[in-house]
């Protein structure tokens, strides 16, 4: 069996992005697409800092909406009992 001689002596696995990082980027794309209505291309072409800013704002908004729903649900439960 002939052994392949690489030009660079570093291990090939040290190049590129890790699978875990790529998965986190695709997770960001999914959140922007599913909850924010963005297209994949729009999310992909955003600079990282702007994409992260939009994600933070989207998460803040989702948390505010969740709290409002919980508050109204709690209020309606107590007002229904007499």
- Report the pLDDT value the prediction gives residue 53, as an integer from 0 to 100: 97
Which tokens in the block code for residue 45? 């072409």
- State which residues form the domain around 37: 18-80
| Per-position pLDDT tens, the chain of length 82 | 666 665 656 555 566 888 999 999 999 999 999 999 999 999 999 999 999 999 999 999 999 999 999 999 888 877 765 5
- Count of domains observed in the chain: 1
Assigned domain for 10 exists: no
Assigned domain for 8 exists: no
Residues 33, 43 contacting (CB under 8 angstroms): yes
Assigned domain for 4 exists: no
Assigned domain for 12 exists: no
Q: Give the DSSP letter string of the chain.
A: -PPP--SS-S-GGGSS--HHHHHHHHHHHHHHHHHH---HHHHHHS-HHHHHHHHHHHHHHHHHHHHHHHHHHHHHHHHH--
Taking the model in full, what pTM does it have?
A: 0.67
CA distance 41 to 45: 6
Assigned domain for 13 exists: no
């Amino acid at each position: 069996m002939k052994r392949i001689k690489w030009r660079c002596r570093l291990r090939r696995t040290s190049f590129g992005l890790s699978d875990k990082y790529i998965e986190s980027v695709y997770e960001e794309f999914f959140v922007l697409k599913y909850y924010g209505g963005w297209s994949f291309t729009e999310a992909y072409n955003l600079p990282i800092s702007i994409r992260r800013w939009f994600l933070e704002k989207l998460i803040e908004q989702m948390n505010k909406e969740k709290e409002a729903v919980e508050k109204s649900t709690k209020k309606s439960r107590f007002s229904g009992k007499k």
